[in-house]
Every structure is written in structure tokens, then in C-alpha cells.
Structure 1
């Protein structure tokens, strides 16, 4: 039995040695067809910037409606903010009645903010569609920037109030 163990150990070595036998294998050097030849000339034509696409009357009305919805929601948010600030300033320890009242006030502000954010999401969707289809990005982008600024203001107020509770 002791003679068979060394013989078994030599079998993998013999198999690996067979892989290293000299033979006629293809070269791995770069072939002539793989070499880059020729030169590329830059295009001398000046690319024209397309004129901004004007929104249709329906789209312009929808943009105005979305901005009006967001502004109405923002006014409601601003009207609800003083009460939430008062409750946040008077909130006691965690799980106290005053803390719970402040949390409810913040939840109400979050709910109002979400309505403004829905208008922003619709504007984002319109803007992506206009980007893909070469539509009126400028008009949509302007309305989107207006609503986004409102959402940023609301996020700032909410972060400040959450820090006080």
C-alpha cells in the first residue's frame, strides 16, 4: 500500500507536464488586421443649435396649473408653519402630550409639502419626456425650477422644526 501512494501523487504532475509540450500553436502577437491604420478627419460642419421648442397651448396651460397648485400648497404650508413652530418650541420630552402635538403638526406640514412635491414630480416627468423627445424643455424647466424652489424652502422649514423637537 505504501508504494501506491507516491504513484498516485505523480499522476497530476504527469498530466500537467503534457500541457507544456512544444507544438505549433498560433502566436498571440498583434495581427496586421488588428492594427489601426488611416486617419480620421474632423467634421468641419458647424452643428446648429436647434431653436427652443415652444410648448403647445395645452402644455402651457398644464404647466401653469401645476405651478398654481404648488403655489397654493406652499401658501397653505406657510399658513400652517407658525402653529407648528409654536408647538415645536413648546414640545416636552419624548412621548409627552406636547411632543405628540408637535409631531402631529409636523405630520400636517409633511402632508402639505407632499402635495407640492407631487406637482414637482409631474413636472419632472414632463421634463424627462421633453428631453427624450426634443420637446419644450426650457418652458418645463422654468416651471420646474419655480416649484423645486418651493419644495426646498419647505424642506428647510421642516428640518429646522424637527431639530427643535
Structure 2
């Protein structure tokens, strides 16, 4: 083993027994310079385009309005299906109604995720995010109402 180590170390040495220099060679030196890309001075205006905020909020409001309009019908279906077997047609309609409400809740949450992305982009661009947070809070209130309704319906379906 010692012989192998000796041969390996000897392979690093030059013919006269000296090891190569660890100094930076001319080919390893960095040459040239880097120029930063020009920045757009008008990029950070400090305000958010109102149309950009209105689109996701309108989608959330539309989904919430459909959720609210459909909720009494689904509640009636759930009440009518109470105590029935899973194979019963009324129970199946109640489950489909519940799934539709869940889908509408998901659409509201997707609009919230779009607002979250707008907030991140605004914050990293040093723009004000207060307007976005106001919209986010309004959508969060919608989602909270929808969650409470879905939880209530879910409990009613278990009975």
C-alpha cells in the first residue's frame, strides 16, 4: 500500500522532483468586463393597474354569486336525501350539488391565488400592495363564507 501511495505522489512531481506551482496561470486570468443591462426607469410607477386587479376579483365575485345562488338548492337536496342509501337518486343529486359548490369554491380560491401572484410581483417591483391586499381580504371573506356553508352541508350529509 505504501508503494502505491509513493508512486501516486511521485506522479505529481516533475522530473526534477519539484511539484507544479499553484499560482494562477495567464490562461486562467479573467479578461474583459461585464456591463449591466440597462434598466427601465419607468418600470416602478408605485401603483397597480386597476384592470389587473379587477379581473381576478370579478372572477371571484362571479363564482361567489353562483355559489350563493346555488346554496339553497343544494341544502334542500341534502335535506331530502338525509337517511337514504348511497345508491338513491336523491342522494346522488345532493352529492353532485355539493361537488358543484366545492368547484365554485375552488374557482374563488384560484382568483385569490392570482391576487397573491400580483402582490408578489408588486412587492418585488417596489410597488404599493395595499390595494391588492384589500382585494385579497375581500376574496378571503368570500372563501370563509363558502367554507362555513360547505362544512355545514358536509355535516348534514353525514346524518
TM-score, length basis structure 2: 0.64
CA distance in 1, matches of 2:67, 2:47: 30
1:74 and 2:103 aligned: no
Q: Cα–Cα, structure 1 residues 83 and 132, in superposed 2: closer, same or farther, change >3 Å?
A: same
Give the gaps of 5 or more residues in structure 1: 1-52
Kindly indicate whether the alpha-carbon contact (under 8 Å) linking 2:46 and 2:126 is maintained by their aligned counterparts in 1: no
CA distance in 1, matches of 2:124, 2:85: 51
Kindly indicate whether the alpha-carbon contact (under 8 Å) linking 1:54 and 1:139 is maintained by their aligned counterparts in 2: no
What is the CA distance between 1:54 and its match in structure 2? 4.3
Residues 42-62 of structure 1, C-alpha deviation per residue, up to 9 Å, x if partnerless?
xxxxxxxxxxx8423xx2111
Match of 2:20 in 1: none
Number of corresponding residues: 111
Match of 2:113 in 1: 121
1:136 and 2:134 aligned: no
Helix, strand or coil for the counterpart of 2:72?
Answer: helix
List structure 1 runs of 4+ shifted beyond 4 angstroms.
none
CA distance in 2, matches of 1:79, 1:54: 38
Give the gaps of 5 or more residues in structure 2: 1-44
1:8-157 alignment, distance < 5 Å: 54-56=46-48, 59-91=49-81, 92-157=84-149
Q: CA RMSD in A?
A: 1.6
Higher gyration radius (CA)? 1
Match of 2:152 in 1: 160
